[in-house]
Structure 1
Amino acid sequence: IVLICQTRNNYVIGKTLFHKFYIYDSINYEVGDIVKIKGKISSFSFAEYESKFSFSSYLISLGARNEFKIDSSSYLFKNPIRFRLIEKAFLSSFSNEEKSLIELILFNKKDYQDELTKKMDSLSLLYLLSNSGLFYSLMLKLNKTIFSSFLSGKKEDVAEIILGSFLFLFSFKKIGVIRSFFSFLLRKIFKLKKKKVDDLTLICLPGLLLLAFDFNFAYQDGFFLSMGIALLYYFTNVKFSFYKKKKRLFLEFLLLNVFILPFKLSFSSGQFHLFSYFYSFLLTPIVAFSYFVCLFSFTFFRLGNFVSFLYEIILKLSNLFLKFDPTLSLFTPCKTSIIIFYIFFFIWLIFFNLNEIKIRRIASFSYIFSLLISFLPFWNYFSNEVCFINVGQGDSILLRNQNKTVLIDTGGNIKFDMAKEVLIPFFRKKRIYKIDYLILTHGDFDHDGAKESLCKNFNVKKVVDSKYEFPIEVGDLTLENLNRYNLEGNNENSLAIYTEFIDKKWLFMGDCPLEIEKLIIKDCPNLEADVLKVGHHGSITSTCYEFLKAIKPKEAIISVGKNNSYGHPDSKVISRLKSENIKVRRTDIEGSISYFSFAK
């Protein structure tokens, strides 16, 4: 028996007494439905890529750790208010452009084929078009202003609660809105009971109520941002109250954008748009007004032409902004970096409110210093690394000798740009700003498919795709190609790269087949490898017994896509590896696999 607690376009989150499940939805369940379902529980089967949005991680943050595949289902209780049907019926009367803006602002649905959505996403400003706690709070203030003009006392408070609850129905899926609604409701309840309560309690108590209801809220970005922004305004309210209104609003806006900077960098793959603060400052009042118009259209009567007009204004402004959109390639912050950033931020914020000037200066300096350190590739100068990057069904291996870098293959995917969406964000996360050598083992798309995009959008010093350019020396690395033969076939001419690095012997076999493996061990009888990158993603055409017995690897890495159509890795290859007591590691199971050492 499952309670439907969250709904999306084509799936729902169902909750039993102790667990939550991801459920593919072909029936259009609604929040509040209680359903009896029969089926099978399984782990998630979604393809994952390094630095790309992880749907599995997102579901885990919602508390769903498994998938429930339904065989049959029946309603025990059907929520009489079908929000999704009401929404669908309402949107059917609008044009595609009007529908796109309404879905973005009112219902938090993003169509990445829509022109406006793509433009705003390119500017890293798409978050402005999201129904958030900010918009909800603005509507509550507007309600207060309207009701106070003709109502007073309890009547005014009751009217605000009724309309505030009605507005909440449009946005109850957003954590920021839920927190704002709880805070608003508590404030009104305490006021009606004539009990005094301070602002900090009204900020913290809704957060505690949310966590008590579902502790998984603590793992969601929306919860952290909502609570953080509320605390930010609380701590700065007294200091900024001495400034004139325009200056106070500007300072609050500036501090807000500094606060959300790590998340902006995370969502934009480390690209910092220099004018983004200015552009968001210009767009915010237009978007807020658009929210009011969309809400009015839904509640009272259709303002389709007005919605189209606002769509065109925002689109034209986004086109104008894209013409003047200088960017800095910074870094994609990891969770640790984000935590450190906010620790220093709130330390600075606390001391900002103190009258101790020296302490405030020390806190400010520490905060700025932490920002600078996070941008610099400080760690790279003292470490070495080999990383088998999770590019799905393909190969891409990074070798970093302090600040010198070699990339073996790029992977490739016909559905998205592997360089822009996986490799470059990964490099920025690692504070890597150049590739000294890009080595392509052979011409298969799953090995060199992202080459053109990577060379165009990232600093690649030199590309090597010929066996005649070896050996290659870069830093302390010496790379040799062991496939010096000229057999027919693409895989038969794949490079087989050997190197000794971080106290290990490495052999990267590309897509070399059995014939090449046998020729290599015949011509290099003393060849050994501690770590073997298994040839051809674990296909039966590679990794023979003779080869494994000759090179004696301790670990074998298989770079492969989850649930791929080729059936890789082959079960016979896995059996061969295990029979030789070789530890098997796979990117489809572990994600990116890294080896570190301190530089000597």
Structure 2
Amino acid sequence: MPLRYHLVYYAVFVLLLSVAYLVHPLFYIFLLAYLIYLVKRFGRKMLFLLFLLPIILRPATSTEVSSIVSGKVKDIRDNYVILNTDYGKIKAYTDHTFQYNDEVLVKLNFLEINHRKDPIGYDEYHSFKANNIVAKAKITHITSVSSHPSFYQLLEKQFSSSKSIKSYQKLFILGIKDEAIKEDYSLLTSLSLVHMFALSGMHIHLLYKCLSLIKSFIRDDIADIIIKVLIGFYVFSIPYNISLYRAFYMLVIYDLVKEKFNQLDVLSLLVLVNVIKNPYIIFSISFIFSYFIYFLVIMTKHFPYRSFLIYLGGIPIVLSLNFSINIFSYFLTVLLSPFISCFYIVTLLSLIFPIDLIMKMMIGYQQMILTFITSFNAEIIFQKPTFSFIILYYIILFNIFLLLEEKKSIQLSMSLLCALLISFHIYSIYKPYTQVSTIDVGQGDCSLIRLPFNQGNYLIDTGGNREYDIASHNVIPFLKSQGVPCIDRVYISHHDYDHYGALDSLKKKYKVKRVVDTYQKEEKNKLITIKMLKSDVIYPSTNENSLVMLVTTGGYNYLFTGDIPSNVEEDLYKKYGKIDVDVLKVAHHGSGYSSSVTFFQMVHPRIAMIGVGEHNLYGHPAHIVIKRLEERKIKILRTDLDGSFSIITYLGEHLIYR
């Protein structure tokens, strides 16, 4: 079988093989069905070529990394850098200010790579594998740092002295997002427009058009070579960007082989090379988004409503990232595309000409549009897409493509696609079960109680971290991933920062109807009973005055204890005696000053939930507390080991999801 027009079949085979091997064996069924289809269509000869591919498809083996390494700084973030070393890439945390391309010799203290997958979708282990990062460490000593002049530094020197302009120059030229535009970036995320401001093939295309002006002075073929060399030099001089690499390789390779291969062949070849080189790249959302969207661009080239079809194709990916869609996002994409193109060209010109005033006007205009649109709160929350939803969605979408190819009506298929989206949205919001979750907020507490059919959503504490916004990074993504449209009540157990610190940010960025931080009388309805327990003793400290809440829902009794110490536990025992508790939120993150022997005479839970940060400075949870729980055969769930976890109650059955 000739390679022309058939490389896509090899690419799909390698992708399915990688997914089956690395994600779930269930995909071997899809792989088998695909092989049967290929044999029927192309004959058995194709199998020989296909089975050669697994021989070279091997995940990279891990090697032991020395604690003293030399390497180059290839990416710079808020509190860490990416070092390119002989061992591979290393994510190194540091307070030191490095420059891009610095050559360093450092001593490292290695940190454990997290193997658990959080419900919001982030998986550190597979993310590292996808990006060829071999280790995570903290820089403990810097032996030497040497800087050398580079094209990257030359670009930086051309940036404006204005902070806002410089931030957009860094974003559009270097692909770097800094603190100054975090608020703008948050607005773009809520509008599902982040992709328009991220360096991509669109920007390479615009850069190519701008540089093509030299064809007026130089012969076309020579000018074309010069342009591609300049673009390649630029792409390889800035931090790695998978979309730019894909766009550049497509530009160069397709121009060389367009007489024999089409664009889909070249894209398939790039997929083959990437997956064979690193099978774990299938876990990179950047790889999936960049290559799949460009695949849609090729597939819809001759279709009507092309831009809308590409937008539809990206919806499951957007939902996987944001768990929501803004109803204005498609129209904004169409309306803002010319503006973004113009903005990018002006940004390029700002490196040469002093046009800060024009840049400020464009930034102001863009911020005004984004602020105006977000004020309508047109965000539709779904949840993290399920595997069945994604499969069904793309079956319908590609059926639409086939119908368009055959020039047949797509009304029925479009109606089915809309019905699927509406049904998934309704299911996301109106789930038929009770859910009690402990959200991983590091060293802090945050629990969600969700009643069936959206009858109530309650948050007990919000967590808090003075170094970053817990609400934006942890709480809100989790709420969206579960399809929670709003919070009816936030209970604050006490005013320690690790329990209430994220409240202000949460109220600004999410719909919160009411906050309760004082003792309340019993609240009761058909689905939930919330009773606050309180001793008759007056306490001097914040921890001692934590709200203690007995929540009955879904056939389980949950006891939330804030940070109460053992003396309060004993006082509660004296007042209430034994209490029927199925699930205990262990007090004070498992501190040895709580969860006393006396307290376990008061409660006999089946499950203990502990909100605690990895490798925290306090040594939580205390060994004595874990021992007491284990002696009583209580199932222990902890955020430092399990991440966020949920207890689901449906039709009388109680299930734990981690």
Give the TM-score normalised by structure 2. Answer: 0.75
Name the amino acid aligned to 2:90.
Answer: F
- The correspondence for 1:7, drawn from 71, 75, 88, is 75
1:23-42 to structure 2, matched below 5 A, reads 23-24=92-93, 26=96, 28=98, 39-42=108-111
For residue 135 of structure 2, what is the aligned residue in structure 1? 66
User: Does residue 1:365 correspond to 2:415, yes or no?
Assistant: yes
Query: d(CA) in 1 for partners of 2:646 and 2:554?
Result: 12
Query: d(CA) in 1 for partners of 2:498 and 2:514?
Result: 20
For residue 248 of structure 1, what is the aligned residue in structure 2? none
User: How far off its partner does 1:447 sit?
Assistant: 3.2
TM-aligned CA distance change 1:102 to 1:577, over 3 Å? same
For residue 243 of structure 1, what is the aligned residue in structure 2? none
Partner deviation per Cα, 1:393-424 (whole Å, 9 max, x = no partner): 33222222313333333334455555565444
Partner deviation per Cα, 1:85-144 (whole Å, 9 max, x = no partner): 3344443x6443442221111011222324984686477445433321211023335555
Are the aligned partners of 2:126 and 2:280 in contact in 1 as well (CA < 8 Å)? no
Q: CA RMSD in A?
A: 4.0
User: Does residue 1:253 correspond to 2:323, yes or no?
Assistant: no
TM-aligned CA distance change 1:312 to 1:119, over 3 Å? farther
User: How far off its partner does 1:595 sit?
Assistant: 1.0
**Is the partner of 1:204 in helix, strand or coil?**
helix
For residue 529 of structure 2, what is the aligned residue in structure 1? 478
Query: d(CA) in 1 for partners of 2:377 and 2:392?
Result: 21
Query: d(CA) in 1 for partners of 2:164 and 2:128?
Result: 30
User: Does residue 1:311 correspond to 2:378, yes or no?
Assistant: no
Are the aligned partners of 1:386 and 1:397 in contact in 2 as well (CA < 8 Å)? yes
1:501-520 to structure 2, matched below 5 A, reads 501-520=553-572
User: How far off its partner does 1:296 sit?
Assistant: 5.1
For residue 462 of structure 2, what is the aligned residue in structure 1? 410
TM-aligned CA distance change 1:164 to 1:104, over 3 Å? closer
For residue 181 of structure 1, what is the aligned residue in structure 2? 248
**Is the partner of 1:541 in helix, strand or coil?**
coil
Query: d(CA) in 2 for partners of 1:455 and 1:484?
Result: 31
Name the amino acid aligned to 2:112.
Answer: S
How many residues are treated as equivalent by the alignment?
574
Query: d(CA) in 1 for partners of 2:107 and 2:514?
Result: 57
Partner deviation per Cα, 1:46-100 (whole Å, 9 max, x = no partner): 9x99859888875454243631345678899x99773443344443x64434422
Name the amino acid aligned to 1:140.
Answer: Y
User: Does residue 1:222 correspond to 2:300, yes or no?
Assistant: no
- Aligned-residue identity in percent: 25
User: How far off its partner does 1:514 sit?
Assistant: 0.9
For residue 211 of structure 1, what is the aligned residue in structure 2? 275
Name the amino acid aligned to 2:256.
Answer: I
Query: d(CA) in 1 for partners of 2:365 and 2:82?
Result: 36
Structure 2 residues not aligned, in runs of 5+: 1-68, 653-658
Are the aligned partners of 2:190 and 2:379 in contact in 1 as well (CA < 8 Å)? no
For residue 530 of structure 1, what is the aligned residue in structure 2? 582
User: How far off its partner does 1:185 sit?
Assistant: 1.8
User: How far off its partner does 1:306 sit?
Assistant: 2.0
Partner deviation per Cα, 1:281-305 (whole Å, 9 max, x = no partner): 344334323433444565xxx21x2
Of residues 552-561 and 589-598 in structure 1, the stretch that sits farther from structure 2 once superposed is: 552-561
Are the aligned partners of 1:11 and 1:24 in contact in 2 as well (CA < 8 Å)? yes
User: Does residue 1:109 correspond to 2:179, yes or no?
Assistant: no
- The correspondence for 1:398, drawn from 438, 448, 451, is 448
**Is the partner of 2:593 in helix, strand or coil?**
coil
For residue 426 of structure 1, what is the aligned residue in structure 2? 478
User: Does residue 1:134 correspond to 2:202, yes or no?
Assistant: yes
User: How far off its partner does 1:280 sit?
Assistant: 3.8
For residue 378 of structure 2, what is the aligned residue in structure 1? 328
Name the amino acid aligned to 1:363.
Answer: S
- The correspondence for 2:621, drawn from 540, 546, 569, is 569
Query: d(CA) in 1 for partners of 2:183 and 2:85?
Result: 36
Are the aligned partners of 2:289 and 2:317 in contact in 1 as well (CA < 8 Å)? no
Give the TM-score normalised by structure 1. Answer: 0.81
TM-aligned CA distance change 1:561 to 1:180, over 3 Å? same
User: Does residue 1:235 correspond to 2:299, yes or no?
Assistant: yes
Name the amino acid aligned to 2:440.
Answer: N
For residue 610 of structure 2, what is the aligned residue in structure 1? 558
Structure 1 residues not aligned, in runs of 5+: 241-250
- The correspondence for 2:262, drawn from 195, 198, 214, is 198
